[in-house]
Amino acid sequence: MIENQAGLVQAREQLGRMEEVVAELWRDADKMHPSQLALLLEGPMDLIEHLHGEIDEYLGIEKARELLSRSPSMT
């Protein structure tokens, strides 16, 4: 759970590293059997999803979506 700005910075750095792992796996995908690729992608993808959730929670993304859905359109 992210509790402060330093935690947010750390989560974003970790997210970037995991995204690079996924990108590297895709670059090498043609050298692997699909089941091997899927196995190697599973961990980083789970962590990416988890980190996105923590970042969104800290930033109040869901609360912002709720507020926007209740607000009249400004257009």
The predicted structure's pLDDT at residue 71: 83
Give residue for tokens 């690079």.
20
Where do the domains of the chain lie? 5-70
Entry pTM:
0.85
Distance of alpha carbon 39 from alpha carbon 60, whole angstroms: 32
- Residue 75 in this model has a pLDDT that exceeds 70: no
Calculate mean pLDDT across residues 57-70.
94
Q: Is the pLDDT of residue 74 over 80?
A: no
CB 71 within 8 A of CB 48: no
pLDDT tens for residues 21-61? 999 999 999 999 999 999 999 999 999 999 999 999 999 99
Query: Residue 75, SS3?
Result: coil
